[in-house]
Chains A and B, each alone.
Chain A
Amino acid sequence: MATGAVTAPRPQASDRARRAATERSRGENRLGWKLVAPAVVMMLLVTAYPMFRALYLSLYKYRLTAPEDREFVGLNNYLAVLTDSLWWIDVGNTVFIMVVTVAVELVIGFAFAMVMHRLIFARGIVRTSILIPYGIITVVSAFAWQFAFSLNNGFVNGWLPLVGDDFNWFGSKWPALFAICVSEIWKTTPFMSLLLLAGLSQISEDMLEAAKVDGATWWQRLWKVIIPNMRAAIMVAVLFRALDAFRIFDNIYVMTRGAQGTESASFLTYRQVIEQFELGIGSALSVLLFLSVMLIAFLLVKLFKVDLAAARQEG
């Protein structure tokens, strides 16, 4: 009532202007949604809907080879997965690969970024080379490293000093995981280094110069000036790579097929659905995989306090 009393005596001209403004913003709103709608629908069509369907199917005992026998089992599929040591071994492998690859990539990627940042010659060549591992098909990278480590055709045993010529890298778990990590690290370090390079180029030269004048050593400048100032870039790079590494599938499929206990959570899910036709259990695994990724993303964002939307939106 009170507000009505206040607005009523306003002059008509401003009222009309305001109406025009809201009309305009409403139009802009409508146009905005019309333009983003196709993309949003397309993105959700293949993700949200199947995810809900996985949620639904995960409550059933459902083998694709015997669709008539489908029966409701409640949370039994989840129970079966979570009480099976295989799931935990696979999750352990996946987390191991994620932590190792991201840590190594961060160090090497940072070193590469520092070199590229300071480089005054051959910039085009470096940029081209660094994009080759990024662009190469993951399956090809996996083959290249599988052959490099292989007993029959690989040069690695011959080149490494402490390794015997007859050492079978794919014969036991940890060496096989090592080979998998090498392929993953080789292929994705360039991406990491480019993101870090972009962060590095944001740091003002004046600040570094000032630190130098004040007598800061190279090491001090690195830890007190450079790294704190590119926190955002490091966080974005780590978050993206960590979630990407958690989904590891291609390298494992090609290099070991999950043999010697090298399976990842993604590979287990794939195997249940596509090879075993266990859609019920497979769907439960899908949901668990999805929840794991959400959890990791949540933990990383909380841990690093990154405002991702802001980091992305600023552009």
Chain B
Amino acid sequence: MDRGLPESRGGTMNGSPTTPQPPRAGRRRLPAAALTLALAVMGTMRAPMAQGGLPPMPEWIDVAGATLAMGAGTDPEAYDNERWPSATGTGPVPVAGFLLARTETTVAQFGAFAVATGWRSEPRALAEAPDLPVTFVSWTDAVAYTRWLERALRSTPSAPAVVRDRLAAGWHVRLPTEAQWELAARATDGRRYPWGNEARPDRATYNTTGPTPVGQHPCPECVLPLADMSGNVWEWTSSPYQPYPFTAADDRTGLEADALWVMRGGHFGDPPRLLRATARGAAEPGARRAFIGFRVALVPPAR
């Protein structure tokens, strides 16, 4: 009984390259040099990712605070878990303003984190093209990424002023809650998809066999210039899966049940019904799948 403390789950989170953790048994890590080279090449491809020598950073979109009528209401395509237990099938949820990444987190962005921290991610997460959304990432991988990104932004003088100011005011990089995600995806006018009420193959990646590079679909009809809110990959949120009504504090209930976390947006292989902005998916936090990714948010302090 005295085999010593096991290593904790990941590598260091402070980005120190001198204290990597050994790789998980049976899993292969992409050699750091190869990944660095890939990132360097990619940096020439995507201008926003290499500002001032920074690792590839998200491009932030301001989402104004509002009271969201959350839930699918009377939408006949909705699943039961999208309807609030109210006459309208929706419920008011006040959401403070926040920043949301324009795109899903890419392989390049996640790779920079993996290299900097030695976080032991699934090798397949880093095996795809750098501008594809990162997949094969668990909820825990996504949270670890947000933690690292916040530190990277705080320690980088050349980070955008809007980001610096908000971090200084106590904001944090997080996964969006599902209310934040839903507000960003459909605004307050009750639309079914970010662009309107009808499914459009030119606006999202769905009914196909694999993801597309992030930000490929123009969306002039969208309220916010966010890319791929519907389709491409499911996006982890920071909300545990609970039946509606949603409250910001509902994460402290049902702690004895096995963990499930909400994903939003549907994925490349889904039919349009699952791409609706109110559709709710859920997965266990250790799930690493080819169709699950995430995007990050910069959110005000909870209290």
B partners with A = no
Chain A positions within 8 Å of B, measured between CB atoms, are: none
Which residues of B are interface residues toward A (Cβ below 8 A)? none
